[in-house]
Each structure stands twice: as C-alpha cells, then as structure tokens.
Structure 1
C-alpha cells in the first residue's frame, strides 16, 4: 500500500465556497451593464485563469458594448467580488477544517495549487482561517500557464520533493483533473458547481471533503503508522 506524503489542494470550489460568490457578484455587475450573462456563461469559464477569462468576456461582449466597456466590466466585477470576499461572503467548504486536521495528525504535507491570483488566494485562506495550514501556495503568478496546463501541479510536486505516486491532488473542476493527469499525479474529484466529467480519469469521486479521510485510511499508509 502506498504511503501518502502530501496532498495538493485546489482552492476555489474545493476548500472555499467562492465560485458561488464569484457568480453572484459577476451576475450583479453584468446586469448593471446590461450584458446577457447567465450562470451557464459563468460555468463556461470555470477553472481557467483570469487572463483566459478576460479573453472569453471580450469574445462574448466586444461586438455588443465595445472593447473598452468590456474592460470596465472586468475591472468593476472583479472589484465587486473582492469586496464580497473581504466581507467574508465565501465560507469554508464542509469538511475542510476536519480534513486539514487529519492531514496534520497523519503528518501529510499540505499545499495549495490554484489558478487564482496570490492576492485572492491569500485573502480567501486568511478570511476562512486556514492560511497557516499550508506549507506552500502556488498561484497563477508562479507558472507560465494556468490549469489545464500541468505547470501548477508540477511546481508543487517539485517543491514537495516526493515521488508522484505518494502525492494526491484534490480538485473540483475538469481543468484541474486534466492538469493533475498531465502532471502524472493521482487525483480525487469532489464536485462543486459541475458534476464529475466522465472522460477524465480519477481515483474516485467523493461527495464532499468530509468523505476524504475514510477513503485515505482505506487506500493509503501514513508516516505515523
């Protein structure tokens, strides 16, 4: 049985219930701009970098309101979402605190690898009280491309210094699953706003973070055993 040395966590939609806040905040500003933005629009851009998301918005809306107005929409909606996060609107996902305590007990290293900016990763982890639970944080600023490119997970794996089979990724998005597979690191899917895709290999799909410790106890060894 493999000894589990470290877990690489996604953040948005996995540790922190931020995707719903992103959607609601962006929807409010889109309505103010008169843009045909829906939840399906938001989901179409889920799990990509800010740069790619901005290109997506320009492709959708430049012909309707012009490039400069789309740029203003991006700035205003981002600022509004940050305000919501600063107000504590994004809560920890169920089981997050307990899973991190389990990792500490079993001497499993924990790092974050997120396509978000370091500024927002820090804000959300601090607001939810778990910032100090991670040995390292890898953000979109640390790599040449965000997920589904494997660069974030490869950077985290290099930092940890363990064999990839002794690592585990926890993800909630298809792009994250693709990135983990391309990095050669086993991955568990915990769906958030979208169901688990059928076309990307995973170790298992679990309903929430509360279910992870039992799966780990059944399938891995630990350094304290």
Structure 2
C-alpha cells in the first residue's frame, strides 16, 4: 500500500555499470568468451541478474558455483583481466545520461557515484569519458574497494550509498549548508541488488534495468522496487548487527527494505527525458 509521499530530492547517487555506461554488456562479452573457450554455455540472465551490482568476491562466488570451469579462480581472473583491458576503454555513456547529469546540476541537485567496480576497472572504464565523469568530484566517487566499506558490506547492504551521502554532507558542512537526509536522496540503479541497497539506505530509487533483466523479473517489479526480492543474503553480511535495523535516519529506518507500492521507487525503461517533476526537482534545490 502507498505510504507518505517522499520529500523533495536534494541528492542523486549513481551506480555506474549498466546505468551510466554500457559496461554491463562488455562484462557479458568477456565472460562468454571465457565460457566458450572451455566448452561451457553462455551466461544466462538468471545468473547474471545475481551478479549485477555486487562486489567482485561475492559475484565471483555466485558465478563459479554456476559455471564450474576447469580452472582456479586465480586463472579465471587472469584471463578475465586480459580481455577487460582491451574492451573497457571502449565504454560509452548510455542514452540520456549526459542530459540527465547536466539537468541535475542545473537544478542544484548534489551528485555522487557509488559503484561496486574496483579502482583499477573504474579507471579503465572512465578515463576516456571526462565529459561524463566531470560531474562527479573525486571526493564524491565511492568505489567497491573503498577501505571505508567493511568486508562483506557491499551491495545489497546499504553501506556504499550511506558513505556516498556522507561525502556530500561533509562538503555541505564545510560550506555551512544543512545536511542532506537519506530520504532526500534518489538512487539510480540498473541492478536488483543495487535497488535493494538504496532502499535499505532509507533512500528513494529509480530502477532503470537492462531490457533482458526486466524480462527476468517480469511480474516481480513491485518486489524489486521495494527491495524485497531477497538479494540481501545473511552469509554476505558478515557484520550485520541487530541494531542496524533500529537506526533511524530521518523518516526511514536504515537497514530495512521498503514496502510494496510505497511510492519511494519507480521503474524507468530509459533515462532519456527524465521526469524531474515526479521527484520534486523541477526547481533548483538548496
């Protein structure tokens, strides 16, 4: 059921792979090249859906449990890295991304990045896209191997988005401006674990999935938007504590997902012609 309307958005927090840039398709290309070498079938979306948005170690475990390749994890990483070095410098912005970032900046919305990519891969995928990544100040770029994110606390845990918000608030504090609350943040995600991460951070969310992922979750869209698909796994959350769900941040509880049709998350099939009015950001924020 619908609950209270979310407040006006003051900050936009972005995932990267498959949301800002077309790297998710390149990841699939790399993986399928290796699978073909060893006579294994191509990666199905039922498995890829579980890998998206997660940090490398967790995604790697899920993948290798399925793939059963005749090689060590270390050898797989060697072959994967070699292919990625050739492909990742070819990433391109996805449709609507540059216009959206420019529109948010024009409206005074604060912007940060929260990607599960490690520093090495981030550089490969972003160094040639200065027109895009100029919108993200270095101090507002949170990567998957950031030491401030505890082990086992990657997406779908809320930590990375809460950390991204804290960097924005540190800047605002230095400027003598009021801090942004989690409920005033809009998380942009293409992955299901990523949406859950944003919802568990007590934030609003936009889910803009790959068309094949949308097919995979057909009929379950309300669950995804609420963060209720069960992607939050106890065995991944090595430092999960009972107190996490009792911490109040503004109007929403951090650590808990949302509710079905609560109005705090929306599905968009594209970022082209983004509906600013829907999120209360048609006029300049403070």
What band does the TM-score fall into relative to the shorter chain? 0.7 to 0.9
2:206 to 188, 193, 215: 188
* 2:30 alignment partner in structure 1: 25
1:24-78 per-position Cα deviation (integer Å, ceiling 9, x unaligned): 121112211333342334344222211112222432355x525x3x431232123
TM-score, normalised relative to structure 1: 0.87
For the aligned residue pairs, the C-alpha RMSD in angstroms reads 2.2
Residues 205/26 of structure 1: CA separation in 2 closer, same or farther (3 Å cut): same
Find the aligned partners of 2:99 and 2:88 in 1 and give their Cα distance.
22
Pairing of 1:1-225 with structure 2 (within 5 A)? 2-40=7-45, 41-62=47-68, 65-66=70-71, 68=72, 70-86=73-89, 88=90, 90-129=91-130, 130-135=132-137, 136-142=140-146, 143-144=149-150, 145-161=153-169, 162-192=180-210, 193-195=212-214, 197-200=221-224, 201=226, 202-212=264-274, 215-221=275-281, 222-223=283-284
1:105-136 per-position Cα deviation (integer Å, ceiling 9, x unaligned): 11111111011112222332332331211121
TM-score, normalised relative to structure 2: 0.69
Consecutive unaligned residues in structure 1, runs of 5 or more: none
Q: The residue matched to 2:113 in structure 1 has which SS?
A: strand
Length, aligned pairs only? 218
Consecutive unaligned residues in structure 2, runs of 5 or more: 1-5, 170-179, 227-263
Instruction: Indicate the structure with greater helix content.
Output: 1
